[in-house]
Chain A
Amino acid sequence: MPESKHHVEYQDIESVIIRFAGDSGDGMQLTGLQFSNTSAVFGNDISTLPDFPAEIRAPAGTLAGVSGFQVNFSSEEILTPGDAPQVLVAMNPAALKANLIDLEPGGKIIVNTDAFNNANLKKADYDSNPLEDGSLDGYDVYELPITTLNRNALADLEDLSTRDKDRCKNFFSLGLTFWIYDRPLETTLSYIDKKFAKNPLLVDANKRALIAGYDVGHNTEAFQTRFHIQPAHLKTGVYRRITGNEAIALGMITAAQKAGKPLFYGSYPITPASEILHNLANQKQFDVRTFQAEDEIAAMGSTIGAAFGGAMAATGTSGPGVALKSEAINLALVLELPMVIVNVQRGGPSTGLPTKTEQSDLLQAMFGRNGESPVPVIAPATPGDCFYMAIEAFRMAVRAMTPVFVLSDGYLGNSAEPWLIPDPDDIPPIVVKHPSAPSNGAEPFEPYKRNSETFARPWAIPGTPGLEHRLGGLGKQPDTGNVSYVPFDHEQMVKDRAEKIAKLADYVPPQTLIGPEEGDLLVVSWGSTLGAVRSAVKRVQGQAYAVSHAHIRYLNPFPKNLDSIVRRFDRILVPEMNLGQLIFLLRGRYGLETPFIPYPKVQGRPFTIREVTEKILSLVE
């Protein structure tokens, strides 16, 4: 790389949050991904969050068509994609307008001035040009004619149409951000080699665009400072990026392999859970059997059928899908077959906010069915944790012969973080025991004879001679499972099923606690809020306040020691992306007198670290 032609200062900083935004056709997701990969390879901790437009093909240049990708990268451990971006790369007026509201006061804006023509300004509902009317005063604005500069850089590629040249301009802007944040180009250069291997002209064009963008930093007076973000102290090992939805898929495959069984996944497409289906459908070499069902009910029914047949069976959906599945979930519950139900929660009720996140289906998972219907519920805390919780869900399902809910959410599903790749050999097997054919003269098979320790019934599968039996949704006699309307038979079965789920507490690991073991304030959270809450608690602890944090991953049954933890604190703050559903469970379990303080947020967006920090400070200061 040439040396800068003008004076440039270097500044060491701890972290940056940068958001790339443009039209959905501008390749901003790719740009953001490349920036995160390069930063990850460089050794920073990263966390990323894509922001897709709700419409699939919104008209180009409009606010509805804006696509964004946020990257938080740091020399310290980070747990969220960051509160507010400090840098905004806006490829057109709509991208500027849609994202400016999030930008930190005084933040940097890099704009493509070529796109700020009257037509685009109108499409973005601007009455006047924000670059000229002073509305960006107070921000650090870098105006560059990116389209022109990029075309100039590719001028001598005569075989390439102007349209194709313009499609390279995302690499141009990426190159510029690489210069500003002092990132190496190698990762992206080799990506371009691979991605466009079939078309050498595009390899050349995209590489030139990237380098030209980088050189603009060198050659433009406006860019006086470059920033350096040192590698983070990460655990050593091999890493990859992973989203929650990818991790769920990998976890399910791993669980099935560890059980030595095929994986069945029955699902109906729904945002934001469909990527799980896509990921699994592409891994058939692991004997993954995906079934795209005709509706949510069929997805659940097929999962029950597959579980009866002896497969590791799972379904995935979002809240509205769970609503449709409820009746079949109850069937699974009384057939007492093992399976996993993933709910990648989104804003509700009804169709709600399909592309936005929320944690408002906890009570649905707990209580959203007729009759006494206890189901284990667990919730991953980070994208990478989705992998482990998917395996965990299968372990619990097989152990207790029950459907198990995994509550992910849109934010976990789509956001990505570096994932320390585990050694598959370190993951213990899932031991499945199917009863085999009885010897002659043995007692007749009793499909509901419970294991005295776990209360699970035997998992006898079709194809086993001598164990023919009928299961059904009607009331049953204990042990035999024969249809029974006898009052005490029914009551015993209801109690046994409840007891069986309660007994899973023997399996659930103890609740961990960060901070003092007792004191004034405990923050209790669950699911995807881990990042924001843990970061906020650490900040407050850094200011010498005694605040503790317990993040619950097992919601039903709760860890046994949670009781004694909550009783050791004067006040318990519960931030949730709902109006207080975990609080409802905690109060029901530990009593109304326990001093729980709700902290709800229901905006379709995750908590920011700042919000939680301020809330905690308002209580302890």
Chain B
Amino acid sequence: MSEPIKLTRKDFASDQAVRWCPGCGDYAILAQMQKTLPDLGVPKENIVFISGIGCSSRFPYYMNTYGIHSIHGRAPTLASGLKLANPELSVWIITGDGDSLSIGGNHLIHILRRNIDVNIVLFNNRIYGLTKGQYSPTSLQGHKTKSSPMGSVEQPLNPLSVAVGTEATFIARTIDTNVKHMGEVFRRAAAHKGTSFVEVYQNCVIFNDGAWGYATDNQTKDDHILELEDGQPLIFGKERDKGIRLNGLIPEVVSLADVSPNELLVHDEDGPASLAFFLSRMRQPAFPEPIGVFRDIKKITYEEGAISQISEAVASRGKGDLHKLFHASDTWEVTPEHTNGHN
């Protein structure tokens, strides 16, 4: 780009009225996205938002970019085809816990393993909102909902653990109420080449209010959240007086009154996948839940691989020539003398 593009938050707001419930965490995510995009320097016409079905998936309608509100769970498939057709585009997938971990689980794992250069933002509210309050794949065991009046018997899925298992190259988590942190995570996700996977703790005020209370409540959040910083020891707490130490293969919470910071586990975004994995396993109440970038590694993207094969084919065979292609088989000629002549 020769000239930096000076867009503002307003440029990214469409003329459609936003129709989430008042107080829904989605508003903050939308606002932060509209605020972050102007900083990325990507022309508006090169940005595409693709979603599936669910409350969060209304998102593209509110963005003044290109967008598709697709069908339940399938946004990654559309995004994959779009990126292969035009790798230059900046593509965001907006999804929810039901959309991407239940009906669309298959597509999620495959887009992550392929490392297609898109950004996935998963709004995790641990509930089905649009269908009015059934338990979701991230609802906690025992969660009472309309479809689980005696409590859900299912084990919840951990989205970031799934992401590590699929070889995802960028994994992060943020919280709807922590807008500054969210903006930074979006910036990092956008900067990453390959699939970026961001889980946002999002509050559904209507059907699962306070599901993330421990992470958002001003009184408690510092003790329940650990902000990851690359190259820094894992320290948390209101007084920053607690840390995470590895005891063999088992992480443990230690008090900095007893333990020197040198003994703490140090975060490494491009360290082994096992580090990101066990960070993803840290759950309330035994551990603070990490937010920030869990993993950020460099790998060839799917589009790079696919497009370079096209260049390779052109280099070795020459640009496609239909005449040659049609004749690329055993051919024979039927001439006027040939037809019905004795051999």
Inter-chain CA distance A236–B334, complex, in Å, is: 5
A482 to B327, CA, bound (A): 49
A257 engages B78 (CB within 8 Å): no
| Cβ B69 vs Cβ A470 within 8 A | yes
> Number of contact residues on A: which range applies?
35 or more
Instruction: Give the residues in chain B near A500, CB-CB below 8 Å.
Output: none
Which residues of A sit under 8 angstroms from B70, Cβ to Cβ? 301, 304, 331, 472-473
Chain A residues with CB under 8 Å of B66's CB are 462, 468-470
The answer to whether B327 and A309 touch across the interface, beta carbons within 8 angstroms, is no
User: Looking at A305, A308, A463, A482, which has the most chain B CB atoms within 10 Å of its CB?
Assistant: A305
B342 within 8 A of A: yes
The one of A235, A241, A466 in contact with B334, judged by C-beta atoms closer than 8 angstroms, is: A235
Proximity string of chain B (4-38) to chain A, C-beta cutoff 8 Å, 1 when within and 0 when not = 00000000001010000000000000000000000
- The answer for the CA separation of A233 and B338 in the assembled complex, in Å, is 9
* Residues on A with beta carbons closer than 8 Å to the beta carbon of B310: 284-285, 287-289
Main secondary structure of the interface of A (DSSP, over half): mixed
- B63 closest partner in A (C-beta): A470
Stretch touching chain B among A209-217, A291-299, A375-383, A402-410: A291-299
Contacts of B106 in A (CB 8 A): 294-295, 298
Query: Chain B: interface secondary structure?
Result: mixed
B63 neighbours in A (Cβ, 8 Å): 470
Q: B27-61 CB contact bits vs A (8 Å, 1 = yes)? A: 00000000000000001111010100000000011
B81 touches A474 (CB 8 A): no
Q: What size tier do the contact residues of chain B reach?
A: 35 or more
Which residues of B in the span 302-328 have a Cβ within 8 Å of any Cβ on A?
306, 309-310, 312-314, 317-320, 322-323, 325-327
- By the criterion CB–CB under 8 Å, are A306 and B84 in contact? yes
> Does A254 lie within 8 Å of B43, measured CB to CB?
no
B314 to chain A, nearest CB (A): 5
Given contacts A233-B340, A284-B313, are A308 and B68 in contact (CB under 8 A)? yes
Q: A233-B339, A257-B320 are in contact. Are A424 and B326 (CB under 8 A)?
A: yes
Which of B68, B85, B107, B320 is close to A283, meaning CB atoms less than 8 Å apart?
B320
Contact B67 A421 (CB under 8 A): no
A234 to B110, CA, bound (A): 50
User: In the complex, are the beta carbons of B332 and A305 less than 8 A apart?
Assistant: no
B126 CB within 8 Å of chain A: no
Knowing A43-B334, A230-B342, A283-B325 touch, does A466 contact B85 (C-beta < 8 A)?
A: no
Interface string of B84-126 (1 = CB under 8 A from A): 1110110000000000000000110010000000000000000
Complex contact A474–B69 (CB within 8 A): yes
- Closest Cβ–Cβ distance, residue A415 to chain B (whole Å): 16
Name the B residues within 8 Å of A473 (CB-CB): 69-71
Report A-chain residues with C-beta under 8 Å of the C-beta of B16.
470, 482-483
The reply on A192 being an interface residue by CB < 8 A is: no
Tell me if A335 counts as interface (CB < 8 A to partner B): yes
B-contact 0/1 string along A537-573, CB 8 Å cutoff = 0000000000000000000000000000000000000
Residue contact A304 to B78, C-beta cutoff 8 Å: yes
Report yes or no: B322 in contact with A254, Cβ–Cβ below 8 A. yes
Is A2 interfacial (CB 8 A cutoff)?
Answer: no
Are A286 and B320 in touch, CB under 8 angstroms? yes
With A and B bound together, what is the CA distance between A29 and B112 in angstroms?
Answer: 41
In the assembled complex, the CB of A50 is this many whole angstroms from the nearest CB of chain B, namely 16
Measured between beta carbons, the chain A residues less than 8 angstroms from B330 are 37, 41, 187, 191, 240-241
Interface residues of A in 426-485 (CB under 8 A from B): 461-474, 482-483
B80, CB-defined interface residue at 8 Å: yes
Q: Pick the 9 closest A-B CB pairs, nearest first.
A: A301-B77, A305-B81, A472-B69, A309-B85, A302-B81, A286-B320, A305-B78, A424-B322, A305-B82
A interface, CB within 8 angstroms of B: 37, 40-43, 75, 184, 187, 191, 230-242, 250, 253-254, 257, 262, 264, 266, 283-289, 291, 293-295, 297-311, 313, 327-328, 331, 335, 421-424, 461-474, 482-483
29 pairs from A and B in contact (CB 8 Å cutoff): A43-B338, A43-B339, A231-B340, A233-B339, A237-B334, A238-B331, A240-B330, A241-B330, A264-B84, A285-B318, A286-B325, A287-B320, A289-B306, A291-B81, A298-B107, A299-B77, A300-B77, A301-B71, A301-B77, A302-B81, A305-B84, A306-B84, A306-B85, A308-B81, A309-B89, A311-B84, A421-B331, A463-B88, A464-B45
